[in-house]
Chains A and B, each alone.
Chain A
């Protein structure tokens, strides 16, 4: 057992772990951070993506001991003071999720992409999330969500609040503006 100190979603934790414990298992099983999930065993699917010291990584491909002294942000730590991160809101607005299993990883990877490239083209978005598999959506609405978040986060779109978090404590379910109503 090795002692590690990791700050996760703003809370410091000190734990003894086996060196073989993967970061994702530490998060899920020891810290109860079950918002982050595991979808594969070959580092392909990206479902486990978290931010390690601000950078997106696959937490199934990092040992918990490697995160000693680091800061981890998971999907559970994104919303602040009850307001959603613009990326979370964009996924909701654009219907960028169906079953939602890939969503935590998808959102974390997409935020990382925008940190490096605040206004990516469609191709850059598609390539930027190539490490995250989604079986439900066909990705089109995910791409749209990232575009919306990019616009929102860089302030090019009309918004009620400043950069960063938008004030929406609960998700609203008003009709999405981008899909036309059903013709008859």
Chain B
């Protein structure tokens, strides 16, 4: 169907709330965009990174002579070559004053601490020549004991992951509501409790697996360097590169062209970015590094990987009394940009939507000889949501209560907002009951419950279960004040500028850097409404530190609620400035002017109007300007929110479980989210779908698995299972709207909600299907084997065998996964 645009003569409808199709699509559906790996510069050299095939070893010797002589190779560098200038990959979030940071060289100098760590880099005239030479670098490793299991790593006399630190613990962070004055004494509550339920949940290690592999191009020009990188955070990257390598900040320009997804995985300052800059500096030539997928899976940071020990206290009537969480969080081998902060972002969300009088959270950050972990969609909040939504189901079982009834009894009522939780956060707005009612309808709850009963009675081999997740999350990172109190290294503001061009067109510069979220469209809608200019007349610029010098980029569902708010505020300033000019031109008092639909009109004087676009031209000419006013109506704004925003919603999953094989299949999925004011329903719906897919994938498909030697055996897309269209259900989605009071748009973030909410709904549904068979937990991902074992052998399904599957004769090789051992080499133990 072809849509015809509204004729311009009628008063324009408000843009906010319209399902505008996206501006950015034009270049993406035609193959006419710029991915970093598309860049070609004259004289450009190609880099290939030589990576460690062992998880923990001293580097005895690196022999690069053969590689240096290989055809097309210009130079080969090892860690020693850059030891003086490479510094350490920065960690911007020391979550405790005594946090241990072992330091993270971009290229290993003396020791390697995980498979895939860089040990040398080759610069060659072609990509093929660089890759060919990788095999010629000969490294001698003196192997050291490998630390992989977190519980073992924190036990007495554990082997050490780094031998220059005293233990495998990086930090121990505690939040205690009693001590903080936001709740009562947790220990007392547990001592007095009628019912206590305790569980150990495992948040498996995940890989963000953005579809565009990472790539970096660096161009040296004199003492200036321009870096193109497929990053979520060009501004943070520029600052950190300056600090790490000593390159003056004003000599660095970072550009994030179109970026093919990030999901937190490109919220990083990577070793490869530092290496590329150092090589470009050293050789004075443009360089490009573009990773392969197997390189990406093993060396780009991973996510989640926590063990959660959760205790919940309640009375027999089902009133929750206290929550105690002890978390082990796997940092991997090193601390990257915000590794330690990830579990802490969840620290305040374990209480979920419930009115707990008491709450205590303890988290230990643990080193292991694995790829470092860091942000992955939701970052800390999916872990918290999973824990609380799972334990609520367990408590319901213990109390023999309906899981929804238990939730209802304890959640915050719609009339109780704003509500301060035991974790000390002030939830802004919402109606949990309303969202739940709508979700039940979307699912067709009563019918499915009936079918479940029938299947149970007839002992059907395929059982049905229904699972809930009534969640909230905190997003819109973040009030700078709060980040400061949590020792985060930066603020949480966002910046915007609006430039009024002489022809009346508008340039909006935003500091948040999009990679699929549709900023160009949504920001245009915001500005069109604020300035009363046509949507088409707005151009949104982002992702280049020269064009958009101030910004804190895109993550934590912050773009609209912080960055969009900055845009709205900048627009208000433009209008205020234009008002002065309009008053002058219309020879009226400012107070008599009314601004609507893009024009200033003099109240009571029909026909006396000036459009803001006319004023833009008048400002350009500046021939007739008010005395003492500078000839510009452009404006900047920086928005620092006073609070987070708290989207919420109810997700319901109906799941079929084949009890004979353990195979699970989502029968139906319905969710109702409240994300405050919706600027663009089309984009919001897309964000929900994408988040659901990733949350469901955590529940059912994805896991980064290491074998006993520390090889990543899910090292390709053959074994790291990103679901396809055929593996996911149709989603029924709905919305309620309770505007966020904390920003001028009223929006709450939507980027992570689907991912945060869905995982526990799916697992709860599977458990609900087989609970009557004696199953009380199944570890994620719910592989058919685990489900089958849980049903037929008890327990949570246990560990998976670690050998890669035998596709391609076992795609695990020295190049993809590290050392070929009996368990990993051939594909399958045989």
> In the bound complex, how far is the Cα of B529 from the Cα of A158, in angstroms?
32
With an 8 A cutoff between CB atoms, is B24 at the interface?
yes
Identify the closest chain B residue to A166 (Cβ): B2
Tell me the B residues contacting A by CB distance below 8 Å: 1-5, 17-33, 35, 37-38, 127-128, 209-213, 258-261, 263, 292-294, 515-518, 521, 535-536, 677-678, 681-683, 685-694, 716-718, 722, 724-726, 728, 730-731, 735-737, 754, 807-808, 811
A88 touches B29 (CB 8 A): yes
In the bound complex, residues from chain A placing their C-beta under 8 Å from that of B28 are 97, 100, 103
Interface bits A139-153 vs B (CB < 8 Å: 1, else 0):
111110000100000
Q: Is the CB of B263 within 8 A of A135?
A: yes
Rounded to whole Å, the gap between the CB of B263 and the closest CB of chain A is 7
Q: Which residues of A contact B678 (CB under 8 A)?
A: 182
- Taking the complex as formed, is A172 at the interface, i.e. its CB lies under 8 A from any CB of chain B? yes
Residues of B within 8 A of A180 (CB): 19, 681
Most buried by B among A91, A123, A182: A182
Residue pairs across A and B with Cβ atoms less than 8 A apart, 10 shown, are A34-B38, A92-B25, A98-B518, A107-B29, A135-B722, A138-B691, A139-B728, A141-B686, A173-B22, A179-B685
Residues of A near B731 (CB, < 8 A) are 138, 140
- Identify 9 new A-B residue pairs, CB closer than 8 A, beyond the known A45-B293, A99-B212: A78-B30, A101-B212, A133-B211, A135-B690, A138-B690, A174-B3, A175-B18, A181-B17, A184-B677
Residues of A within 8 A of B692 (CB): 138
Which residues does chain A contribute within 8 Å of B31, judged by CB atoms? Answer: 33-36, 74-76, 104
Closest to B683 in A: A95
Q: Is the CB of B693 within 8 A of A181?
A: no
A174 adjacent to B5 (CB under 8 Å) = yes
User: Quick one: which of B29, B683, B689, B811 contacts A138, CB cutoff 8 A?
Assistant: B689
With known contacts A40-B293, A88-B30, A139-B728, A102–B211 Cβ distance under 8 A: yes
Q: Which residue of B lies closest to A171 (CB)?
A: B26
**What sequence of 0s and 1s flags, for each residue 30-49 of chain A, a beta carbon within 8 Å of any chain B beta carbon?**
00011111111110110100
Residue of B nearest to A78 (CB): B30
**Do residues B29 and A97 form an inter-chain contact, with CB atoms below 8 A?**
yes
Which B residues are in CB contact (< 8 Å) with A76? 30-32
Dominant secondary structure at the B interface: loop
Which A97-150 residues have a C-beta within 8 angstroms of B?
Answer: 97-104, 107, 122-123, 125-127, 129-143, 148
In the complex the two chains form, is B730's CB within 8 Å of A129's CB?
no
What distance in Å separates the Cβ of A179 from its nearest Cβ neighbour in chain B? Answer: 4
Q: Given A34-B35, A99-B259, A182-B681, does the pair A40, B717 have CB atoms closer than 8 Å?
A: yes
Bin the interface of chain A by size.
35 or more
- A41 contact from B17, B211, B293, B518, Cβ within 8 A: B293
Residue ID in chain A nearest B18 by CB atoms: A175
List B contacts of A10 (CB < 8 A).
Answer: none
Our pick among B24, B263, B293, B808 for the contact of A100 (Cβ within 8 Å) is: B24
- Given A137-B690, A140-B689, the answer on whether A100 and B29 have CB atoms closer than 8 Å is yes
Residue pair B689, A100 in contact (C-beta under 8 Å): no
Instruction: Give complex CA distance A6, B808 in Å.
Output: 29
**Which residues of the partner chain A approach B212 to less than 8 Å between Cβ atoms?**
37, 39, 99, 101
Q: Which residues of A contact B19 (CB under 8 A)?
A: 175-176, 179-181
Contact A126 B725 (CB under 8 A): yes
> Are A125 and B211 closer than 8 Å at their CB atoms?
no
A-side contacts of B737, CB under 8 Å: 182-184
| Closest B residue to A161 using CB positions | B2
In the complex, the answer to whether B260 meets A170 with C-beta atoms within 8 Å is no
Residues of A within 8 A of B263 (CB): 135
Interface residue from B3, B261, B516 paired with A172 (Cβ < 8 Å): B3
B716 partner residues in chain A, CB cutoff 8 A: 40-42, 44
Closest to A45 in B: B717
Complex interface: chain B residues within 8 A of A36 (CB): 31
Query: From residue 20 to 70 of chain A, which have CB atoms closer than 8 A to chain B?
Result: 20, 25, 28-29, 33-42, 44-45, 47
A135 to chain B, nearest CB (A): 5
